[in-house]
Amino acid sequence: MEEPQKRYKVSTRRKIFRIAIVTTFIYCSIGIALYHLQEWFLFEPTRLPKDFEFKFNVPFEEINIAMNKTDTLNLIKFSPVDTIPRGIVVYFHGNTENVNRYARYASNFTKHGYEVLMPDYPTYGKSTGELTEDNMYRQAKEVYKLAHSKFPATKIIVYGMSLGAGVASYIAAKEECA
């Protein structure tokens, strides 16, 4: 009687071991796939042709900053209507599309007398370059420098929405701002 019971225990252990191996393989495969596809899941840029003309309901100016021979930072500066600016908001948008999608939020600040600088990340809108964390931070520093050339740090508000919250946090930690 002991022999069949012993075989049952060995068979059960093998099944559990096989299930553990298969589960581990599936778990690792999903992890590897997510790692390699994370940019596809996280970033949803929409490129715009260089000759695209923006149309917004508030006064704006399009600015292009050459970062190097191949990378260009494209941003929009929104201005308040009929008032001297009280300060400036550096607005880092979310992970979807480009400035065109987020421009409607600029009026939340311009109606209170603030200018708004809203850059596109590399590969978003008209901005060019490789989409990397370092490039995003480097371009964000350039936008901050532009804001600081016009306003003192106490009048610069750094704001981020979704993906832009990480970029805004980086700038707020590195630079003086309101």
Domains: count for the chain: 2
For residue 20, pLDDT beyond 80: yes
Residue 2 has pLDDT above 60, yes or no: no
* Closest to 88 in 3D by CA, of 76, 72, 102: 76
Q: State the DSSP code for 100.
A: H
Q: Is a pLDDT exceeding 60 seen at residue 177?
A: yes
Q: What is the mean pLDDT of the chain?
A: 90
What is the pTM for the complete model shown? 0.80
Region 62-91 average pLDDT = 94
Instruction: Clarify whether residues 86 and 168 are in a common domain.
Output: yes
166 and 121 part of one domain: yes
Residue 167 lies in a domain: yes
pLDDT at position 125: 95
Tell me the per-residue pLDDT of 41-62, one tens digit each, with 9 for 90 and over.
Answer: 677 788 999 999 999 988 999 9
The reply to whether 52 falls in a domain is no
**118 lies in some domain:** yes
Question: Residue 151 in contact with residue 88, Cβ under 8 Å?
Answer: yes
